């Protein structure tokens, strides 16, 4: 496939030689393991269990975590690059990785005690197990502080009751980070976080969502009916769950931005390829403003989104607080993904309409990026508030 020149990536001041080498490694893995199966698995809405296992063996599911817990000890930019490249090849794989690393594993690395890291983070980082995240509820989506899942301590266990919706990696993960109200009179300060294993008594799965995009990813409902959680599976301190989840989402927005970037790049690649093919047939194509102007706009959008996402990833490792950077990256990159994939479908015409075409997949997948980790309406509020309070620290 014809791709854009290396200089176009607009990354020279952000990306080190080690990052470029890591990207090359990712692309080799994708060419060998992902490209041959992506279209078929997506069409069949089939979760790629064998592929995920091979990714774990290759160290691609523990990129940012310490080596002592089975990770690769790479930086947040490397994680963003991985999500970008996987999403560029296959959106479903991008979100599987983003949810596993950023939502199912990161909270344990950031807030877990040593025992929890040894027991749960290590197999997650090694790719021996997959992680999930239970925050969204049927009545509590963007307003995660309105959590209705409840818990109380009965003397031996935390007892959870409630439902979590739209959980990525549902039915496929082994452990889930779950929010529940432990003190109903304390507001957001009464929300706690727990590590819940799939075989805990009282834990079951509801329906699997039949989605318009990201069809090979497993998205579903988690049901807690007097679910018994051992006291040692309380994550961090009781009542700190809301703070933990907001911190997790700050980082998750960067990976969603990276996912959006990968989808936009995939669509742009297709347009560039078609234009190169048409150049051989229509010698006057290069003088057609009608055909070339959209390409310039799409390419500029993707370059700007890449810079914003990469910068946010670097800031995550440098700053105490990266809320503004993450929200901006997620908001801008997801809007770019919607614009670029839509224009790509229009550019390809009827060739872009089949369900299994790359641009059709990217167009449908991109919509999740404007919703996940907080809708873009919420991101605008977050961005404005952060600017007024002084931004990143």
Q: Residues 315-341: pLDDT tens digits?
A: 999 988 899 999 999 999 999 999 999
Residue 249 has a pLDDT of 95
**pLDDT at residue 118 is higher than 90:** yes
Residue 7 has a pLDDT of 44
- State percent of the chain over pLDDT 70: 90
| Averaged confidence pLDDT in the chain | 91
Q: Residues 200-243: pLDDT tens digits?
A: 999 999 999 999 999 999 999 999 999 999 999 999 999 999 99
pLDDT band (50, 70, 90) for residue 351: low
pLDDT band (50, 70, 90) for residue 77: very high
Residue 6 has a pLDDT of 44
- Measure the CA dihedral 271/276/278/280, to 10°: 180
pLDDT band (50, 70, 90) for residue 289: low
Mean of pLDDT values over 11-22: 86
- State percent of the chain over pLDDT 90: 80
Q: Residues 23-67: pLDDT tens digits?
A: 999 999 999 999 999 999 999 999 999 999 999 999 999 999 999
Residue 274 has a pLDDT of 82
Its pTM stands at 0.93
- Catalytic residue IDs: 373
pLDDT band (50, 70, 90) for residue 354: low
**pLDDT at residue 1 is higher than 60:** no
All domains of the chain in start order, with CATH: 6-125 (1.10.540.10), 131-241 (2.40.110.10), 243-389 (1.20.140.10)
Between 2 and 58, the more confident residue is 58
Mean of pLDDT values over 251-256: 97
Q: Do the Cβ atoms of 105 and 56 come closer than 8 Å?
A: no
Q: Residues 137-166: pLDDT tens digits?
A: 987 655 656 789 999 999 999 999 999 999
Q: Do the Cβ atoms of 329 and 320 come closer than 8 Å?
A: no
**pLDDT at residue 277 is higher than 60:** yes
pLDDT band (50, 70, 90) for residue 285: low
Mean of pLDDT values over 195-199: 98
Picking from 9-18, 125-134, 171-180, 303-312, which range would have the lowest pLDDT averaged per residue?
Answer: 9-18
């Amino acid at each position: 496939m014809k791709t854009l020149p290396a200089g176009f990536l607009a990354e020279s001041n952000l990306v080190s030689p080690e990052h470029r080498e890591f990207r090359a490694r990712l692309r080799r893995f994708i060419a060998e393991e992902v490209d041959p199966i992506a279209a078929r698995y997506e069409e069949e809405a089939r979760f790629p269990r064998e592929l995920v296992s091979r990714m774990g063996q290759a160290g691609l599911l523990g990129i940012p975590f310490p080596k002592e817990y089975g990770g690769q000890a790479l930086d947040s930019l490397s994680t963003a690059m991985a999500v970008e490249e996987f999403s560029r090849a296959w959106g479903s794989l991008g979100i599987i990785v983003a949810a596993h690393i950023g939502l199912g594993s990161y909270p344990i690395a950031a807030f877990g005690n040593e025992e929890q890291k040894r027991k749960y983070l290590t197999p997650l980082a090694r790719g021996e197990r997959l992680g999930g995240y239970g925050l969204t509820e049927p009545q509590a989506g963007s307003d995660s502080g309105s959590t209705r899942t409840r818990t109380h301590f009965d003397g031996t266990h935390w007892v959870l009751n409630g439902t979590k919706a739209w959980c990525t990696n549902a039915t496929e993960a082994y452990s889930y980070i779950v929010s529940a109200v432990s003190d109903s009179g304390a507001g957001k300060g009464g929300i706690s976080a727990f590590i819940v294993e799939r075989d805990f008594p009282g834990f079951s799965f509801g329906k699997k969502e039949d989605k318009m995009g990201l069809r090979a990813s497993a998205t579903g409902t988690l049901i807690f009916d007097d679910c018994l959680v051992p006291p040692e599976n309380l994550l961090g301190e009781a009542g700190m769950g809301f703070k933990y989840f907001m911190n997790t989402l700050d980082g998750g927005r960067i990976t969603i931005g990276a996912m959006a970037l990968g989808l936009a790049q995939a669509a742009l690649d297709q347009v560039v390829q078609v234009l190169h093919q048409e150049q051989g047939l229509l010698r006057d194509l290069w003088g057609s403003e009608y055909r070339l102007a959209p390409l310039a706009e799409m390419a500029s959008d993707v370059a700007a989104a890449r810079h914003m996402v990469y910068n946010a990833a670097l800031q995550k490792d440098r700053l105490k607080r990266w809320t503004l950077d993450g929200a901006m990256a997620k908001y801008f990159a997801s809007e770019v993904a919607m614009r670029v994939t839509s224009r790509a479908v229009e550019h390809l015409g009827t060739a872009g309409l089949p369900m299994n075409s790359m641009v059709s997949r990217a167009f449908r997948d991109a919509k999740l990026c404007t919703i996940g980790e907080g809708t873009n309406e919420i991101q605008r509020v977050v961005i404005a508030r952060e600017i007024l309070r002084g931004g990143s620290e």
